[in-house]
Amino acid sequence: MVSHQTFNEIFDEYHPRILRYLKRIVGPDDAEDLAQEVFDKINRGLKKFQGRSSLATWIYRIATNTAIDTSRSAAYKYETGHHSFEYETPHESSDATVVKASPVTDQLVIRKEMSDCINEFIDKLPPDYKTVIVLSDLEGFANKEIAEILGISLDNVKIRLHRARARLKKALQDGCDFYHTEGNTLACDRKQVHILPKTPE
């Protein structure tokens, strides 16, 4: 069914979601400009939208293709580490927060740290894996919708998502120590990276 929403209505509904999505895919520095480009394309293409897919998948397909085109351009330099955190003394900072915080605040801090940690590892995934993880686990699209957004088969979506999740799980296991707090809340600490001293020649 063809959408009867005006462009302004679509912009108001989808701009926050698309901006968040692009921040996850290309990082915050480029997301604003890319979002503007995406909605320019939506505005130009809205009259031709035939409703063969849902409006949401059509919009996300435009956003995804725009991000891919930008990342492949010679002028675009992709930088990892869009989420920057301090890991030098994770136990000390966490313990200090726990001592001063109420149980509710403590849970919120733990959840934020978990979210920050997972987002950082998602950022480091190869682009194809990162995109499918974000669309599925963070944006909440079904596999069939992801197939439409990415222009690939449903089987390829399932394979890519399985591999992306396996790679993310391994990265988290290698990089984080997970444990349960007294309140049975899952928490994590970053593993310390030990650099061996150089042996004298």
How many domains are there within the chain?
Answer: 2
**What pLDDT is attached to residue 100?**
40
Q: What is the CATH number of the domain that holds 113?
A: 1.10.10.10
**What pLDDT is attached to residue 31?**
94
* Successive 10-residue mean pLDDT values, the chain, 201 residues: 79 96 91 96 92 92 92 52 32 36 56 74 90 92 96 96 91 80 70 59 55
Helices (H), the chain: 7-26, 28-45, 55-72, 90-100, 103-123, 127-133, 143-150, 154-175
Q: Both 17 and 68 in a single domain? A: yes
Q: What is the CATH number of the domain that holds 49?
A: 1.10.1740.10
CB 134 within 8 A of CB 67: no
Taking the C-alpha atoms of residue 141 and residue 201, their distance in angstroms, rounded to an integer, is: 56
Give the predicted TM-score (pTM) of the model.
0.71
Q: Both 43 and 114 in a single domain? A: no
Dihedral sign of CA atoms 165, 167, 168, 173 in order: positive
